[in-house]
A and B are shown apart, each in its own frame.
Chain A
Amino acid sequence: MNLLQMNLLQMSFSGAAFITAVVTIRAVAINKLPKKTFLVLWELVILRLLIPFSIPSMFSIYTLVTHSIFSTILPGTGTDYNIPTMQGLFVTTQGAEQPPTDISSSVSMWFIVWCAGVILIALFFVISYLRCLIEFRTALPVHNLYVEKWLAERPLKRPILVRQSDRITAPLTYGIFRPVILMPKKIDWNNGKQLLYVLSHEYVHIYRYDTVTKLIATLALCIHWFNPFVWVMYILFNRDIELACDESVIRQFGEKSKSAYSLMLINMEATKSGLLPFCNNFSKNAIEERITAIMKTKKITIFSLVLASLIVVGVGTAFTTSAQANNNNPTSEEQEYKTINASENASDHNAIETSGGNVDYGIYEEYGLIYDKNSKCYTYKGNVVRFFNDPVGGASFTNFFTGTVDIEAERDTNDKLIGIRECTKEIYDRHTEKYENSGLKSMPASTSIESGDEKVNVDIIQNYESYGVESGAKTGNMNTLQDYESYGIAYHPEDGHWYYNDQIIGMFIDSEKPIIYFDDSGSIYLSIAENSENGVMEIKEISEAEAQKLLRDNN
């Protein structure tokens, strides 16, 4: 599956659930909680929409969802919230079913439409902003004693300018580092009280960096433009910024100022109509909500504070974290294992060729799994092991090149390791068949072990002619990635590592061919994939989390 698409849809989907929750709380308790509560909640929503990863938590709403739908697994909903930990584990697609090709063409279609949408919406915002900015810059200075006195009383690190314009009808603020408060020319410059309210309101915006938050919200909107929930979020978030700002001004001047402040707003609003024709009705609704909110502003009680923090912490944890992959629970892990290979027989884990970098194979030694230093292979009862699997211990590897015997770990009902047994003839044949059908037969697989290192490397590499039985891991390394040299990677014979941009490659994943290269001393992760726009193969550096995701999606 297309990684970007899956990630984005997941983020959008969980974002939508979060938004629904916040909208509900807002509808019920807008005038009962401090308005700041909603700002914090919206900011969490925006983070959820923008940050592609999340912390697994047992308190997550998706833990609940995942558990309840596990019996009827839907790949792409429940399971996608389970992100297994890395542990140097890697997985290739041997025998896994490839998605039909028509899916990939619809994916790229989807990608093009999404990109076009992002660009259009972003252009709309950038152009409107620039047009406004050109207009705002033509504003004239204000020579008003009252304003000058007010400014002198508020020393902020950023210099604030107050200007006037005959092109606007309501006061506004723009600029982040050098904020400018723009007043309509027609405002009553002698009405000190009204001026004070207006200036204080704009000052709160400046003080709280509301311009920046709005910008980030707009970014989220551009990316999730296809999601109607995000549009609702954007509109309500902008309203709540104003509500929180009003609330703070009222707090500053005391509850007696409520009526005067509301009247000032109504005055401003009366002249404002026609400015935004496409949301006129909506803003009428908004001003009603705003006046009501101001008139209902109450003192913050301990109760409302506690309630607000509980809601923020509770809803925040439930919706920003992802479902917990419970590693202590073997049945859950096995279930996950099965989900990854939804098409596989439940008892059959051989489609996965894994090697845990941190797995201690020493524990299997007493049951007969012996590492042979000469052939650099594991042996069982004198035969080279072809297939080993212990799902509970997270250990498994294959060596279809020199291996002759398939074994698996035996565990009792408490999952305690009690021995190793040979697979039945039936399973052995099935493994052989799978291997032959997988198209990997022409690609010799190797298990190679770096000298003196307990960690196991499994390389399944095309054109791997000098298989490292006699030459060892280092010479073996040389040929592994030579097909990709044209993409800018290079082999350094002096230390036996592959390099990209002068860094040792830790992992190299080709999602088209099931090729995975792994190097313990490496520090960077690379993937190679076809660019969905121009069809050119591209190499790119990815994060550990992305590598992990890619490995999982390869299944």
Chain B
Amino acid sequence: MDIKLFDSELKVMCVLWSEGDTTAKHISDVLKNEIGWNMNTTYTLIKRCIKKGAIERSEPNFMCHALIPKEEVQEAETNELIDKIYDGSVDKLFAALLGRKKLSAEQIQKLKQIVEDLE
């Protein structure tokens, strides 16, 4: 995925993913309750998402449609996490996920096997 969304923009996307296509007004209401953003802030973010190609706008009523699925963003975010924090190695992430205990060489080998199988 080429689109880089910031946390606040992801919040807007989350509303679209969970509620399906909806109006900008509705997104704004939901986020006002949830985070306390005022309408202008939410609309600014929706417009940014439209500009980045993450949301498609249609009339009437400023209907918003998510152009990218949640899974794609999740994958992209995970990849970024692995690249940035775990030097691009999935096993390190695995190790971290398995609760900060050091894994034995054997276990690591096993995990690597799983990853290779999946690729």
Residues of A within 8 A of B (CB): 134, 137-141, 165-167, 185
Separation in Å of the B49 CB from the closest CB of chain A?
12
Q: A134-B44, A138-B44, A138-B45 are in contact. Are A166 and B38 (CB under 8 A)?
A: no
Separation in Å of the A137 CB from the closest CB of chain B?
4
Q: Which of B5-13, B17-25, B54-62, B95-103 contacts A (4 or more CB under 8 A)?
A: B5-13
Separation in Å of the B53 CB from the closest CB of chain A?
19
Separation in Å of the B34 CB from the closest CB of chain A?
9
Cβ B6 vs Cβ A137 within 8 A? no
Chain A residues with Cβ below 8 Å from B44 are: 134, 138
Cβ A140 vs Cβ B38 within 8 A? no
Whole-angstrom CA separation of A404 from B106 in the bound complex:
123
Tell me the nearest residue of chain B to A167, going by C-beta: B6
Cβ A165 vs Cβ B8 within 8 A? yes
Cβ A134 vs Cβ B41 within 8 A? yes
Q: A134-B41, A137-B41, A140-B11 are in contact. Are A166 and B6 (CB under 8 A)?
A: yes
Whole-angstrom CA separation of A137 from B45 in the bound complex:
10
Chain A residues with Cβ below 8 Å from B88 are: none
Cβ B8 vs Cβ A139 within 8 A? yes
Separation in Å of the B12 CB from the closest CB of chain A?
10
Cβ A141 vs Cβ B6 within 8 A? no
Interface residues on B, range: 10 to 19
Cβ A138 vs Cβ B41 within 8 A? yes
Given contacts A134-B41, A166-B7, 6 further A-B contacts (CB under 8 A): A134-B44, A137-B37, A137-B40, A137-B41, A141-B36, A167-B8
Separation in Å of the B105 CB from the closest CB of chain A?
29
Chain B residues with Cβ below 8 Å from A165 are: 7-8
Whole-angstrom CA separation of A139 from B38 in the bound complex:
12
Chain A residues with Cβ below 8 Å from B45 are: 138
Contacts A/B (CB < 8 Å), 17 sampled: A134-B41, A134-B44, A137-B38, A137-B41, A138-B6, A138-B8, A138-B37, A138-B41, A138-B44, A140-B7, A140-B8, A140-B11, A140-B35, A141-B35, A141-B36, A165-B7, A166-B7
Chain A residues with Cβ below 8 Å from B7 are: 140, 165-166, 185
Whole-angstrom CA separation of A141 from B8 in the bound complex:
10
Whole-angstrom CA separation of A185 from B45 in the bound complex:
18
Chain A residues with Cβ below 8 Å from B6 are: 138, 166-167
Chain A residues with Cβ below 8 Å from B35 are: 140-141
Whole-angstrom CA separation of A480 from B36 in the bound complex:
64
Whole-angstrom CA separation of A351 from B103 in the bound complex:
101
Separation in Å of the B14 CB from the closest CB of chain A?
11
Separation in Å of the B5 CB from the closest CB of chain A?
10
- Listed from nearest, the 10 A-B pairs whose CB atoms lie closest are A138-B8, A137-B41, A166-B7, A166-B6, A138-B41, A140-B7, A138-B45, A141-B35, A134-B44, A167-B6
Chain A residues with Cβ below 8 Å from B11 are: 140
Chain B residues with Cβ below 8 Å from A167 are: 6, 8
Separation in Å of the A131 CB from the closest CB of chain B?
11
Whole-angstrom CA separation of A140 from B41 in the bound complex:
12
B31-73 contacts to A, CB under 8 A, are 35-38, 40-41, 44-45
